[in-house]
Amino acid sequence: MANILIVEDDVDLNAAYKIILENEKDYTVRSAFNGQEALEALKSFEPDLILLDLLMPIMGGLEFLQNYELQKKHPHVKVLIFTNMENSPEVNEAYKLGAHRCIIKSWTAPQNLARVITDALNEKTSEATV
């Protein structure tokens, strides 16, 4: 049993991830469509893991991480960057801001997504290898 917050602006993908995670595992899933909505959701929802897109309108993933002050306020929450911007400075920046791991959307099949999330939830932060 774990709480997962999906932050993804694409409505179709957001809905798909919700179905996958709710079907695959016993997860409670909440959806947000940009960083601003995610910050709002965090007032009433305590996630164990945040699945975070980077390029979003209103507030992107990096800005969300800066506002969220991940390491200070929520050190136990793992943030998985879920993006198509591989090998980019944005991913590097996300790691600096406390992201746990980065996975590439277009290369990750639904079952792999569920597995990666389970692995991340089971890993201690210091063991974060790929």
| Spatial distance between the Cα atoms of 111 and 3, rounded to a whole number of angstroms | 18
Q: Is 121 near another protein (CB under 8 A)? A: no
Q: Is 10 near another protein (CB under 8 A)? A: yes
Q: Which of 1, 26, 106, 122 binds another protein (CB under 8 A)?
A: 106
Type and span of the H or E element at 17: helix 11-24
Nearest distance from C-beta of residue 10 to another protein, angstroms = 6
Q: Which of 2, 3, 16, 28 binds another protein (CB under 8 A)?
A: 16
Beta strands in the chain (DSSP E): 2-7, 27-32, 49-52, 78-83, 101-104
Q: Which of residues 26-85 bind another protein (CB under 8 A)?
A: 55, 84-85
108's tokens: 């990750």
Which among 30-38, 43-51, 67-75, 110-118 is the span making contact with another protein, rule CB under 8 A?
110-118
- Please answer whether residues 50 and 78 qualify as being in contact, where contact means their C-beta atoms are separated by less than 8 angstroms: yes
Among 101, 104, 105, CA closest to 127:
101
Residues that bind another protein (CB under 8 A): 10, 12-13, 16-17, 19-20, 23, 55, 84-89, 91-92, 95, 102, 104-107, 109-112, 128-130
